[in-house]
Amino acid sequence: MTTATATGPVAPAIKPHVTVPEGLQQTLTLAWRTIVQVRHNPWELGDYSIQPIMFVLLFTYVFGGAIAGSTGDYLTFALPGIIVMNMLFVTMYVGTGLNTDLTKGVFDRLRSLPIARWAPLAGRILADQVKQAWSIFLLLVVGMILGFRIGTNLAGLLAAVALLLAFALAFSWVSVLVGVMAKDPERVQLFGFTALFPVTFVSNVFVQTDTMPGWLQAWVKVNPVTHLADAARGLMVGGPAAESVVWSLVWAAAIVAVFAPLSLYALKRRV
């Protein structure tokens, strides 16, 4: 006798891993998810739009005359630095959003799907680049309305924007680490104000380095915010910029080398 074996439909084999093109597509999808959240939470757009405009107006018209002699001269000096400062604060939204996803279980749901494990992080950081570009554009438009003028050319302006976005991409890993380690989004924001305010204000964002006490100048001269502000001024307004650009890129590479592995390790332990 022969025994007939009933056969049913064969389940498709599970892919052992996600390919790089698939991971990139998932990254774009998750980045778009983050961007469209602004439509449901318009106050987030106000956070990184209204606050920097207030900084420009207040420092230009309240302190500009006393510091530089005229509001126009001070705006020319301060606007590139304010753009740098705002860029650093906007990166904190990466950590805040990431922490929200972690605490609300979004990462648990993503982990059950066949997606690249790095796609949620890459998507969050990529969405931040769009927000950064919007903030830079907004501040430049407001500055030009107030009287700021590009002293170099279009190539210099585009180079400054590219440098700012590259540094923002690198510094986002600091925010990612904080977002992974913090217990709630409020603690991420607390870190942003506690740690970034001294780093940004103790630099030449608002005033010339040589107006500070000698002991403070030593820190200001090595502060990466100072190098980035000098590079942005040189590329936008004019003056030497090559050395500051190089140091800014060196700092960006060092930040990625230190904080990217730490962030991935912390994320792996948490999820």
Contact call for residues 198 and 172 (beta carbons, < 8 A):
no
Residue 84 has pLDDT above 90, yes or no: yes
Mean pLDDT value of segment 220-242: 93
Residue 219 lies in a domain: yes
14 within domain boundaries: no
pLDDT for the residue numbered 226: 94
- Mean pLDDT over residues 65-90, rounded? 89
CA distance 47 to 49: 6
pLDDT class of 203 with cuts at 50, 70, 90:
very high
In terms of residue numbers, what domain contains 75?
20-34+41-270
Long-range contacts made by residues 207-213, C-beta under 8 angstroms, separation at least 24? 207/67, 208/77
CA angle centred on 118, ends 22 and 109, rounded to 5°: 90
Short-list 199, 186, 177, CA closest to 125: 177
Kindly give, in sequence order, each residue whose CB lies less than 8 Å from that of residue 216, ignoring residues fewer than 6 positions away: 202
Kindly state whether residue 13 falls inside one of the protein's structural domains.
no
Instruction: Identify the pLDDT of residue 166.
Output: 95
Looking at residues 118-141, what average pLDDT do you find?
Answer: 87
Average of per-residue pLDDT across 96-106: 81
Residue 220 has what pLDDT?
92
List pLDDT tens digits, range 150-165: 999 999 999 999 999 9
The one-letter code for the residue type at 159 is A
Residue 249 lies in a domain: yes
Cβ-count burial 148-159 (b if 16+ within 10 Å, e if not)? bebebeeebbeb
Please indicate, yes or no, if residue 11 is contained in any of the structural domains. Answer: no
Residue 223 counted as domain residue? yes
What is the model's pTM? 0.85
Assigned domain for 225 exists: yes
Number of C-beta neighbours around residue 266 at 10 A: 17
Q: How many domains does the chain have?
A: 1
Quick one: tokens of 84?
A: 């740098």
CA–centroid distance for 7 within its chain: 55
> Is there a domain that residue 53 lies in?
yes
Q: What are phi and psi of 202, to 5 degrees?
A: -90, 65
Query: Rounded mean pLDDT of the chain?
Result: 84
